[in-house]
Amino acid sequence: MELSFAPMEGVTYASFRRTHARLFGGADKYYAPFIAPNGDGSYKTGNRRDVLPENNKGIKLIPQILCNAAEPFLLVAKELEAMGYDEVNLNAGCPSGTVLAKFKGSGMLRDLESLERTLDIIYSRCPIKVSVKTRMGVHSTEEFPAIMDVYRKFPLTLLTVHARDRDGMYKSSPDLESFGKALEGCPFPVEYNGNVFSSEDVEKICSHFPTVDKLMIGRGVIADPSLLRRIKGGAALSVDELRNFHDELLEEYLASGLDPHHAIPRMKELWSYFRFKFPGEDKNMKAIFKSKNMPDYNAAVSTLFSSGNFDADGEFSW
């Protein structure tokens, strides 16, 4: 089973990926959160720093582009090629309202003729391999066969299918049946994505689809950073491991120049996933979310970790 760590804007940046890879491993590759170029191919310096090879030593990284026009996509892809990358991923899945309105991300699925024209230019001119991460539709997964008809015309390196429509955001049940249909006679490799939070979920996907040998996992690995290792037969998460991961990550954030006012919200975002491992700890969890400075934050975190209420199997739920 090939396991990839999903891109998550605001979470899985280089510091996170490095710390995760060093302490847990298990990911065959990581996808970087999207780069959203302007029409002239320029994009945020922070995104460039995030994908620079020197910031991603020892991990296999696939950069991702969120863009509905071929020219800026190709300009960024060329730059990525110069950095040494041999693959780039196109985001056809972001469900955000503003992104959708601009016909980007999942909004690319609103106009399949335009999607086809864009892919036609990208696949004829991109100097490196192009994989796609897609939703199964905008308003309904019933749109998926028509979307697949477009993708089938191009030599996708890999199609990652987030098995929901855009309107399902991150909440609706993945549509396994329609995902299965997409696999029939598919000319390129397909990777499943959506709501894999445990080894049991992996077994469910594998028993439904014996030919699926690629999974992308996001929120499940944030909630349990050992999940990929665990799926591969490794040990479950221990409370000491989670504490160490938390501490090293916070140290990385601060060392990379992030000030406490920005580092604390990043850590709080992680706690919205870690909290499922601490049953009955609502009061201590509240203290973490309420903290506004480093001493209060650190004190709340220490109290929680010393509570003794840790459940390695506490499962993320949305």
Ligand X SMILES: Cc1cc2nc3c(=O)[nH]c(=O)nc-3n(C[C@H](O)[C@H](O)[C@H](O)COP(=O)(O)O)c2cc1C
**Binding flag, residue 33, ligand X (CB under 6 A):** yes
Q: Positive or negative, the Cα torsion across 297, 298, 304, 310?
A: positive
What is each CA distance from 15 to 18, 27, 258, in whole angstroms?
5, 15, 11
Which C-beta is closer to ligand X: that of 84 or that of 318? 318
Q: Which of 9, 28, 241, 315 binds ligand X (CB under 6 A)?
A: 9
Q: Which helix (H) or strand (E) holds 288?
A: helix 282-290
- Residue (of 304, 313, 316) closest to 237 by Cα position: 313
Q: Which of 218, 227, 250, 300 binds ligand X (CB under 6 A)?
A: 218
CB of 307 to ligand X, least distance (A): 27
**Binding flag, residue 97, ligand X (CB under 6 A):** no
Which C-beta is closer to ligand X: that of 37 or that of 194? 194
**Binding flag, residue 226, ligand X (CB under 6 A):** no
Secondary structure letter of residue 139 according to DSSP: S
Looking from the CA of 57 toward its CB, the CA atoms found within 13 Å total 2
Which C-beta is closer to ligand X: that of 9 or that of 28? 9
Strand, coil or helix: what is 253?
helix
CA angle 56, 213, 96 (to 5 degrees): 60
Q: Which of 47, 68, 91, 226 binds ligand X (CB under 6 A)?
A: 91
Cα 139 to Cα 85: distance, rounded to the nearest angstrom: 34
**Binding flag, residue 156, ligand X (CB under 6 A):** no
What is each CA distance from 49 to 27, 222, 297, in whole angstroms?
21, 22, 28
Q: Which of 18, 162, 246, 275 binds ligand X (CB under 6 A)?
A: 162
Collect all residues with Cβ–Cβ distance below 8 Å to 318 and sequence separation of at least 6. Answer: 170, 171, 219
- Ranked by CB distance to ligand X, the top (closest) residue is 218
**Binding flag, residue 219, ligand X (CB under 6 A):** yes
DSSP per position, 143-212: GHHHHHHHHTTS--S-EEEESS-GGGTTTSPP-HHHHHHHHTT-SS-EEEES---SHHHHHHHHHH-TT-
Stretch that binds ligand X, among 40-48, 78-86, 88-96, 293-301 (CB under 6 A): 88-96
Which C-beta is closer to ligand X: that of 177 or that of 269? 269
Stretch that binds ligand X, among 2-10, 74-82, 284-292, 305-313 (CB under 6 A): 2-10
What is each CA distance from 26 to 17, 59, 221, 255, in whole angstroms?
12, 11, 10, 25
Stretch that binds ligand X, among 6-14, 144-152, 238-246, 291-299 (CB under 6 A): 6-14
Q: Which of 26, 37, 63, 93 binds ligand X (CB under 6 A)?
A: 93
**Binding flag, residue 220, ligand X (CB under 6 A):** yes
**Binding flag, residue 137, ligand X (CB under 6 A):** no
CB of 192 to ligand X, least distance (A): 10
**Binding flag, residue 166, ligand X (CB under 6 A):** no
Could you say which residues in the range 181-210 bind ligand X, by CB under 6 A? 193-196
Which C-beta is closer to ligand X: that of 10 or that of 295? 10
Residues that bind ligand X (CB under 6 A): 6-11, 33-34, 64, 91, 93-94, 133, 162, 170, 193-196, 217-220
